[in-house]
Structure 1
Amino acid sequence: AHRLYVAFRHELAVRLGDDESRITNVSAGGMPERVKCLHALLAQTLVMGEGVNPIGDRVLEAVTEEFSPSVCRCGSLDD
């Protein structure tokens, strides 16, 4: 997951002309040395698809009853 994230970000940076020197070898949630936030790992699964980050996949599976990436819930909780 770490290597795929870094490669994905590098491809975007090249297209956008961005400088990655400040974040070399650091990826979502501080990988590969630590996992900071599950939401960062979930975001990687949502952006890159299932099968890339097994922890992000597990988080998505765990929240499926409350959240679906294919359904927009832009109303208030009282709706």
Structure 2
Amino acid sequence: NQWYWGGEAKLRATGDKLQLRSVPAAEWAEVENAAVQFWDEIAAESETKAKVISIFKEYNKVINTAGFPYGQT
């Protein structure tokens, strides 16, 4: 967290060496869809892994529902 607030945020505001890039929404959707498929494979391996994956999925649901700047939608 210190890097974000003390490093990246400062570079975004005052620096000239940080170049911001963005991933097009359609391309990012492909990444997220692939992640869900991967998570499903991992979740099938054990009950513990399934619990962890459910936390990831719930987090993504909340972030995407919250919208910008938290999620892509």
One fold, TM greater than 0.5? no
Query: What is the TM-score normalised by the length of structure 1?
Result: 0.28
Query: What is the TM-score normalised by the length of structure 2?
Result: 0.30
- Which protein has the bigger helix share? 2
